[in-house]
Amino acid sequence: MKKRYIIPIILFFLFFAFPFSFLNGKEVHLSIDDFYTSFIDLKNEKYGSIYDQPTFHYLKSIHDITEAKFTLYTFPNAENWAISEIPTKYIKELNQSNWIKIGYHSDNPESKNDNSSNFQNGYLYFENNIPPSLIAKTLRLHYFHSSFDDISFLKSKGVTKLLSADDNRISYSLPPSVNDSLLQKQAISYASMTFEKTDFRTEHHLFPLLKVWSHIQDNVLVIFTHEWALNFWNAAMFRILVYYLAFYGCTFIME
């Protein structure tokens, strides 16, 4: 079977097999973690537009149909590449969009955010190379980890929310009782910062659309994947998920 027929067939089956009317009115935050290989590609290849680059073309093709918004969580340094090396013309294109933001993830892919100096210097370098209007104020940090000194630093930079883990692990050095409250309530305020639970990552599910049934009671869905996980199947399932969220009346948010 040719690949181009797979998505329409799955869409047709899911549309008639499962009612998703409970999605109407929900807000959805979509993001991609560890996003940097496409930025490296922009440095190495010559594209007429950033949306000619395969990953950005993929995201725009989803946005054009659904008006979905995406936050790309990246590093200022990765694999002998620096965020300052993104060609200016592509940054300008992104800055003219109203559906993409770039968020700080950590100082580099190997970091576990356990060195405050590296973490904060990494953010400053990130901040100096991305236009303010393009910088996300809702972050999901690498390994869901940071110290409270770093959280205070982020707050001073205008960050208003941290997205916690999609499982039961303790996120961001929260006290266990506070983390338990977050798991129960989905979102809490603590130490002058809002913490909101991530619902799921698409690459962990064969059919991630069906995972939304586990979140019928949630007013906000926080869903993500990783750039390295956007293989053919996950990319197709991510697209189908976003199509359904849009079709059934969800609102896409980007903070």
pLDDT value of residue 212: 94
Q: Is residue 114 part of a domain?
A: yes
What is the secondary structure of 161-218 as a DSSP string? EEEE-SSSS--TT--HHHHHHHHHHSEEEETTEEEEE--EEGGG-SSHHHHGGGGTT-
Q: How far is it, in rounded angstroms, from Cα 179 to Cα 73?
A: 23
At residue 20, the pLDDT reads 79
Question: Is 219 among the domain residues?
Answer: yes
Residue 77 lies in a domain: yes
Is residue 231 in a domain?
A: yes
Q: Looking at the domain assignment, is residue 151 inside a domain?
A: yes
Structure tokens at 34: 């560890």
**94: domain range?**
30-253
3-state secondary structure of 30: strand
Report how many domains make up the chain. 1
CATH of the domain at 221: 3.20.20.370
- Residue 12 inside a domain? The answer is no
* Dihedral angle over CA of 216, 222, 227, 230, nearest 10: 10
pLDDT averaged per 10 residues in sequence order, the chain, 255 residues: 63 64 93 98 96 98 98 97 97 96 98 93 98 98 96 98 97 97 97 97 95 93 99 95 94 96
Please tell me whether the overall predicted TM-score, pTM, comes out greater than 0.85 for this model: yes
Would you say residue 17 lies in a domain? no
pLDDT of residue 221: 98
